A and B are shown apart, each in its own frame.
Chain A
Amino acid sequence: MLRFLARRAAWFALTTWVVITLAFFLLRAAPGGPFSSERKLHPSVEAALREQYHLDWPLWKQYLHTLGPLNLDERGWLGDGADPFGGVLAGDFGPSMQHRDVSVNDVLASSLPISITLGSLALALALVLGLSAGVASAHSPGSKLDQSVRALATGGLVLPNFVLASLLVLVFAFWIPVLPVAGFGTPRHLVLPSLALALPFAAYIARLSRAGLLETLSKDYIRTARAKGASRARILWKHAMRGALAPVVSYLGPAAAGVLTGSLVIERIFAIPGAGTHFIASALNRDYTLAMGVTVVYAVLVFGFNTLVDVAYTLLDPRLDLEQEA
C-alpha cells in the first residue's frame, strides 16, 4: 500500500507538472492577452498593467514564476525576500488579471465549495439512483420493472445533460411549480441541478450494476450459497453485491471527471456561482492566472478521486494488488 501511494505521488507530481506546463504555454500561445479587450487601453496604461503582472518578463521567467515554488519578483528571494515563496507549487496562484484586486485563491475559495457541493451531491445521487435501479432490475430480470429501468437508463444516456436539465426545469419548475428555476442558496435550489447532473451517470451505473449483478448471480459460489440455504436477501447483499460493485467502482473515476465537465454546463443553466463559470470565462478572457488556478484545481481533484477509487477497488477485490496496478 505504501509503495502504491509513493508511486501514485510520483505520478501525481508528473501529471500536475504536465498540466501546469500545458496550460501555461497554451494560454500564452493564444492570440490576445488579458488586457487586449475591445475597449483599447492607453498604451502607457497597458504597459504599466503588463509590468504589474510581469507580462513584460521573458517567457521562461514567467513560466518559472508561475510554476514556483520560488517567488521571482521584487518581493521574492531575489528581491527583498519578504515573500520568498509563490507560484502554483507553493499553492499561490497570484492575482487575478481580470477581477481587479482579487487573488485567484480568493476566487477559488469562494466558488470551489459550491462546485464541490454540487458535484459530490450529484455523484452521491448517481450512485444511489443507479445502484438501486440496477439492483431492482437485476432482482427480477425481464419483469416490467426491469424493462422500465432499462428504458429510463437508455433515455439518460442518449440526451445531452442540458436537454435533461431543461426538461426537468420545464416539469418541476414551470408545470408543477415546486422547485426554483435557478439560483443558489437554499437546499431546494440544489435539487434540480444535482439531479440533472446526476442522471446520465445514474443511467450508466444502473446498466453496469445490473450487468455485474446478473453475471455474479450466475456464478457457482452463489449456487453453493443457495444450496446451503442462505436467504435471498443475504445472497444478494452479502455474496453477490461485492462482485457486482467492482465495475461500478472503477467507473466512479471517469464519472467524477464527467461530473466536473458536466457542471460547466449545469452551473451555467441554473446560474450557480461555481468554479465552472470561471473556467470558461477565464479561458476566453485570457485571465492567465485564474485559468491556471481552475485548471490545476480540477486536475488535482480528478487525480485524487481516481486514486481513492483505485484504493476502494482493491478493498472490494482482494485479488488485485495495488503494487502491480501502479
Chain B
Amino acid sequence: MSERSASSTPSWFRDADYEFAAVQIERLRPESPWRKARERLSQRASVRWSLRFLVFLALLSFLAPLLPLPSPAAITVAAEPAPPVAPWSALGDHKFVPEYWDLNPLDRALVSVRTSLFGKWRTGPWLGTDALGRDVLARVVWGSRTSLLVALCAALTSLVVGVTWGALAGLVGGRLDNVLMRIVDVLFAVPTIFIVIFTLSFLDAPKSAVGEASLLSREQVFFLVVGAVSWLSMARVVRGQVLELKRSAFVEAARIAGASTPWILRVHVLPNVLGLVIVNLTLTLPSVILYEAFLSFLGLGVEPPKVSWGLLAAEGAEALNPLESYVWLIAAPALVMALTLFALQTLGDGLRDAFGVEERSER
C-alpha cells in the first residue's frame, strides 16, 4: 500500500476514455425543453404569421391615439350608416376634431403628439361609419384596446394567482394541497357567470339609489371580475404538472445526487411547468375575449362612449335587418375578432405541439 505513489496508480481509465465519456454525456444530455420547443415552433409558417399578426395588433392598439384616425367618439349627424369607401377614392380630409372620453395622461400625450404630427388630417371612412356617423375603423382600432386589455388582465391573474395557487398546492402537498384544491373545486362548481353578473349589475343601479360614486369604476370591476374567474383551470393544470414532476424519475435522481431543493425547483421544475403555463395561457385568451363580447352583448361590458370589439359586434348584430343590410357594421369587428382568435389558437396549438402537451378539455 505504502509503496504505491500517486503517479503509479494503475490507470483503468485513459484520457481517451474520459474524453469519450464526456462526448457521450454531452450527446445524451436531454435537450432543454425550450430549445426543442423553439426549433419545432420555427418550422411552422402559420405560427410565425400568427405571432407577427398578434404583435402588429398589439402595437396598433397601443399606438391608437397616435394614428391619424378620426376620433372614435366624434358624432356627426347622419341619417344612416355610410358604407365603406376605398382608400384611393377618399384618402382623408382635414376635419379632425379631438373628441375622446377621459383618457389617461399617456394617451393624452399621444393624442397631442398626433395633432402636432398630422394636424387636422384624418383618414377617410375606409370601413364605413355607423348610425351616429362614427368611423368604424377608428372604433375597431380603439376597441381592440379594451379587448386586449381584458385578455391581458385575465392572463396576469392566471399567471399570478393561478400559478402560485397551483404550485403551492403541488409543492407543499398534504393538508394545504387538500384545502387549496377543494376551494378550487367548489369555485368550479359555482357557475361563475352568476358571480360576474351580480357583481357587474351592482354598478348598474340607478344613480339615485347608489348616491355617491362607487369606489371602483365599472370598467375596473369588469377587469377584476374577468380576471377573478379565469385562474381556476390554470391552478389545476399547474398543480397536476408539479405533482407529476415531483414523482418523476429525473427529479428523484437529482435529489439522490444531492441537489438542493431550490436547485431542483429552478432547473427541473420551473422550465417544465413554464411550457405548460404558456400553452394554457394562449388557450385561455380566446375564451376571455369571447367572454368580453358576451358580457358586452348583455350590456354589462364597457360603457359607451368607450368601445370594445364585443360592443361593436353587438351593435352590428342589432343593426342587421332584411331591408337595409349594414353588413360592414358587423363584418368589421367580427372579422378582426375572428382573425385575432384564430391567430391565438394557431399559436396555442403550435405551442402545445412544441411543448408536447396533450389536448384535454379543462374543467
Q: Report which A residues bind B (CB closer than 8 A).
A: 11, 14-15, 18-19, 22-23, 26-27, 29-33, 36-38, 154-155, 157-163, 165-166, 169-170, 173-174, 204, 207-208, 211, 247, 250-251, 253-254, 257, 260-262, 264-265, 268-269, 279-280, 283-284, 286, 291, 295, 298-299, 302-303, 306
Contact = CB atoms under 8 A, between A and B. Distances in A.
Contacts of B297: 160, 162, 265, 268
B201 A30 contact: yes
Contact of B294 (A14, A265, A291, A299): A265
B201 A31 contact: no
A208 B190 contact: no
Given A19-B190, A26-B202, A262-B294, 8 more contacts: A26-B195, A27-B198, A29-B202, A159-B334, A208-B359, A299-B190, A302-B189, A306-B189
Contact of B317 (A19, A154, A163, A260): A163
A309 to B, nearest CB: 10
Interface in B165-222: 185-186, 189-191, 193-195, 197-199, 201-202, 204-206, 208-211, 214
Interface size class of B (residues with CB under 8 A): 35 or more
A32 B206 CA distance: 8
A27 B194 CA distance: 11
Q: Which 4 A-B pairs have the closest CB atoms?
A: A32-B209, A251-B361, A158-B341, A174-B322
Nearest to B289: A160
B203 to A, nearest CB: 8
Interface of chain B, helix or strand or loop or mixed? Answer: helix
Contacts of A15: 186, 189-190
A23 B195 CA distance: 8
Contacts of A169: 320
Contacts, number: 144
B49 interface: no
Contact of A23 (B193, B198, B363): B198
Nearest to B317: A166
Contact of A158 (B193, B345, B360): B345
A163 B190 contact: no
Given A22-B195, A154-B345, A174-B322, A159 B190 contact: no
Given A157-B341, A160-B294, A208-B359, A302 B320 contact: no
B21 to A, nearest CB: 37
Contacts of B317: 162-163, 165-166, 269
Nearest to B199: A26
